Structure 1
Amino acid sequence: MPEDRPQQGQHPERPRHDKYERLIEAARELQPTRTAIAHPCDEVSLQSAVEGSRLGLIAPVLVGPAARIQDIAAKAGFDISGLPIVDSAHSHDSAAKAVQLVTLGRAEALMKGSLHTDEVMGAVVAREGGIRTARRISHCFVMDVPGHADPLIITDAAVNIAPTLDEKVDIVQNAIDLAHAMRFQEVRVAILSAMETVTAKVPSTIEAAALCKMAERGQITGALLDGPLALDNAINPEAARIKGIVSPVAGHANVLVVPDLEAGNMLAKSLSFLAGADAAGIVLGARVPIMLTSRADSLLTRLASCAVAALVAEARRASMSSAIPG
């Protein structure tokens, strides 16, 4: 899995997607994760379930109008004869029943099908029957960036619009837990801003400094934190050296925490459209990992999301097992 120190710069010998392929191979060593697929009523989302099952990443339960799912499978040539189907009336019903499978202990992960994200997340955070925890729900992109040695986690670019300092504590901890589930040898978190100096004129620099102090005091655990850091001196050792920043994180970050959703969204899309990166996504902070796959994602990216969810589910099983006395 990830190397101890990523090597920066271009690596012509390193094929694109190798990070995702490593994640998929790691997840295939585990038992398939029981996954409720909410409303897989188009070819793309049904393909994700079928291929994820074929590779042994997930054990899908298809939740949606049974006749419609079977019709899509027949037209696409997918064999779903071995996959259980929970019949539903419509997309909102699919989301509710998929979440219910989690509450009943019949699913360890959720995957979004051909319905709106708001429908899935509405069922997840519902006051009755939802699967929230005390932890703030947040999203992580797991980026496969060509020329960058290891997966790069970016958070939060999809759920929390303008998180408070307290909310950022959970966002950071969720990302750290994800990195451990992905078997990073060392988790190095950069709290990003536009600069690396603390100034009251830029509030995100003050919050970055506070988060680092909170990590020193044990309020955030499991990683090395540094911030504020600008993007260049977070991921490029030479940029960090020129600025005179000496820390185990500067130049070597493998988790990037952005100030707000706008910054994160622009960073992730810049990497995708200008650097040719792919972005697998996962939502954390609920009782199970949630895959918010997009119809625009490649099959490999959707399978990488399955692999990440499988690794998170395995880490949770291990944590729960160690917490049981005897």
Structure 2
Amino acid sequence: MHLTNRIFDELQPGDTACLRRLITADDLYVFAAASGNYNPMHLPGEDGDGDGIPDEFAPGMFIASLLSAVLGTLLPGPGTLYRSQSLQFHGHARAGDEVESRLTVVEKHDDGTVTMRTEVTRPADGALILTGEALVMAPRLRFDRDDIEIPGLIVQRHRHFEALLERARALPPLRTAVVAPEDERSLSGALLAWREGLITPILIGDKALIATAAGDESLAGVEIIDEPDHEKAAARACALVHESRAAAIMKGHLHTDQLLRPMVDRQTGLRVGKRRLTHVFVMDVPGMAHPIMVTDAAINIAPDLRTKVDIVQNAIDLAISLGSQQPLVGVLSAVETVNPDIQSSVDAALLSKMADRGQITGGLVEGPLAMDNAVDLAAARTKGLRCEVAGRANILVAPGIDAGNMLAKQLSYISHAESAGLVLGARVPVILNSRSDSAMSRLASCAVAALHHARLSGGRP
């Protein structure tokens, strides 16, 4: 970061400077942690005044602190010290608002202090948030450096999955055929979801290997179907669905193609009409105000337009099951304008238009969008994008499996997200866990499956 200042002798009445800042939910958490102010009026999702509506007001002193950012970085800049600050609040700002902090030099004093007029406004509607007056000691020495850096902060929490688990626990346990749970990790995930009341497992696989994987953990009360052949075990799971004995399928210790192959069989499979099977990662990313869905990152390698229609529609359907009133779909490309040489940008524009014409229903679809302006309002505004989806997308449609898989794993391993994996397009949800998934990820996958099944079946188990 490059910082320079304006020393006392250079300052003149009327000099002004301003900064704009998009207030995020993480700002509210960071300020609460730093200040010790846990007033629910200022915490995302909390209702502090009992009217049933989350308040999410930015604390007054957080807004006031934005003035110090202008003082310390622009006018007068590095070397400035506060003497006093008066504040009068005229309105409130919330998470998601962009505010502008402005300082104007009013008067210089012989002792080296400067009186400055201070104000904070909301440019979107011109609302006045704060006014006041600052008395500061202006710097006397020149400062001009570009090596000022501070550590980044990550607010690491997974409140979205915790909320999904609470909702799913209120449902009857989902009868789930678990295919080849023959290692400790896959079996323990199913048993953990069973203990949490999310599923009632039916274990299908090599009975001896299942017993070995269980170790000292009791399998009393758990139905086990002895079938050592993995593809036959997957076919048996499909049969249980047709027999109405299972309402979901969970992957155990077998290859994904072995699990899915029986599901696409024309006579005994589970496909619904001609809709393709597609995969969705539901991701709880620290700092994001809502879950992020990434699709398709595990099944369709290089989807054509027809397949992308199913990918988008399946994801919208799942988002609705998880409580989204209006899913916002960002169809990703390398650019946010249509370039005939970039096929993903052409497909994205077509998907957006197909949604406008009712060929994709239930959500708003916009594309092409680059990753930054799909999820970041500031980036979207910088590019001049004003549509409902830009900067707010909760479904990200990747152009192919490479991009989708890389994006999902980047969110997991660099952005510290937890992920839940589900295959859609079949008669029942298919829980697709990875061997490296945490306990939270496995539970969340079961919760997502239970909530989706509950909506599609009208709330029946």
TM-score normalised by the chain length of structure 1: 0.92
Q: 1:43 aligns with which of 181, 184, 190?
A: 184
Cα deviation, 1:237-259, whole Å, max 9, x if unaligned, reads 01111111111111111001111
| Pair 15,275 (structure 1): closer, same or farther in 2 beyond 3 Å | closer
Report the equivalent of 2:259. 120
Which residue identity lines up with residue 170 of structure 1 in the other structure? D
The 3 A distance-change label for structure 1 pair 208 and 42 is same
1:44-102 alpha-carbon deviations (Å, 9 max, x no partner) = 111111111111111111111223323332x2x22221111112132222212112111
Preserved CA contact (<8 Å) 1:143 1:153 = yes
**Aligned AA for 1:108?**
A
**2:135 aligns to what?**
none
How far apart, CA to CA, are the structure 1 residues paired with 2:255 and 2:307? 25
The 8 Å contact of residues 173 and 197 in structure 2, kept in 1 or not, is answered as yes
> Is there any run of 5+ residues in structure 1 with no aligned partner, and where?
1-5, 322-326
Q: CA contact under 8 A between 2:374 and 2:393: conserved in structure 1?
A: yes
Within a 5 Å distance, the mapping from 1:1-326 to structure 2 comes to: 7=24, 11-12=29-30, 15-73=156-214, 75=215, 77-134=216-273, 135-318=275-458
State how far apart, in whole Å, the 2-side matches of 1:212 and 1:293 are. Answer: 31
CA shift for structure 1 position 173 = 0.2
Residues 253-277 of structure 1, C-alpha deviation per residue, up to 9 Å, x if partnerless?
1001111111111111111222111
Please tell me the residue identity of whatever aligns with 2:196: L
Select the structure that is richer in helix: 1
Q: Give the AA of the match of 1:224.
A: L
| Structure 1: distance between partners of 2:454 and 2:297 | 25
In 1, the alpha carbon distance for the partners of 2:197 and 2:178 equals 15
Higher RCO (CA 8 Å, separation ≥ 6 residues): 1
Is the alpha carbon distance of 1:148 and 1:199 closer, same or farther for their aligned partners in structure 2, counting shifts above 3 Å? same
Distance 2:335 2:305 in 1: 18
1:286 positional shift? 0.8
Residues 8 and 236, structure 1, Cα contact 8 Å, conserved in 2: no
5+ long unaligned stretches in structure 2: 1-22, 34-154
CA–CA distance in 2 between the matches of 1:319 and 1:172?
Answer: 24
The structure number with the bigger radius of gyration is 2
Distance 1:8 1:241 in 2: 19
Whether contact under 8 Å (2:454, 2:460) holds in the other structure is no
Report the alpha carbon displacement of residue 209 of structure 1 after superposing the two structures with TM.
1.0
User: Cα distance 1:136–1:320, how it changes in 2: closer, same or farther (>3 A)?
Assistant: farther
Q: State percent identity of aligned pairs.
A: 51
d(CA) in 2 for partners of 1:319 and 1:58?
Answer: 15
Amino acid at match of 2:285: V
Query: How far, CA to CA, are the matches of 1:40 and 1:164 in structure 2?
Result: 34
Partners of 2:213 and 2:281 in 1: CA distance: 29
Deviation of 1:319 (Å): 8.6
Distance 2:184 2:316 in 1: 34
Q: How many positions carry a matched residue from both structures?
A: 314
Q: What amino acid is the match of 2:228?
A: A
Q: Secondary structure at the match of 1:318?
A: coil
CA contact 1:141–1:153 (8 Å) conserved in 2: yes
- Please list every run of at least 4 consecutive aligned residues from structure 1 whose deviation after the TM superposition is greater than 3 angstroms: 6-15
- Structure 2 CA distance for partners of 1:320 and 1:171, relative to 1, 3 Å: farther
Instruction: Give the deviation of 1:320 after TM superposition.
Output: 9.4
1:253–1:171 Cα change, 3 Å: same
C-alpha separation between the residues in 1 aligned to 2:190 and 2:376?
38
Letter matched to residue 391 of structure 2:
G
Shift of 1:203: 1.5
Letter in 2 for 1:243: K
Q: Output the amino acid matched with 1:194.
A: A
> Normalised by the size of structure 2, how large is the TM-score?
0.66
Aligned letter for 2:223?
Answer: P
Q: After superposition, what is the alpha-carbon deviation per residue over 1:86-139, rounded to whole angstroms, capped at 9, x for unaligned?
A: 121322222121121112111110000111111101121123321112211100
Question: Is contact 1:237-1:250 (8 Å) kept?
Answer: yes
Determine the structure 2 residue equivalent to 1:3.
none
Q: In the alignment, residue 71 of structure 1 is paired with which amino acid?
A: T
Q: Any idea what SS the aligned residue of 2:222 has?
A: coil
Compared with structure 1, are the counterparts of its residues 112 and 86 closer, same or farther at alpha carbon in structure 2 (3 Å cutoff)?
same
User: CA distance change for structure 1 residues 320 and 42 in 2, over 3 Å: closer, same or farther?
Assistant: closer
Q: Give, in whole Å, the separation in 1 of the partners of 2:24 and 2:430.
A: 31
Higher strand share: 2
Please tell me whether the aligned partners of residues 418 and 440 of structure 2 are also in contact (alpha carbons under 8 angstroms): no
Q: Specify the code of the residue in structure 1 equivalent to 2:388.
A: P
Q: What RMSD, in angstroms, separates the aligned Cα atoms of the two structures?
A: 1.9
Matches of 2:459 and 2:364, distance apart in 1: 21
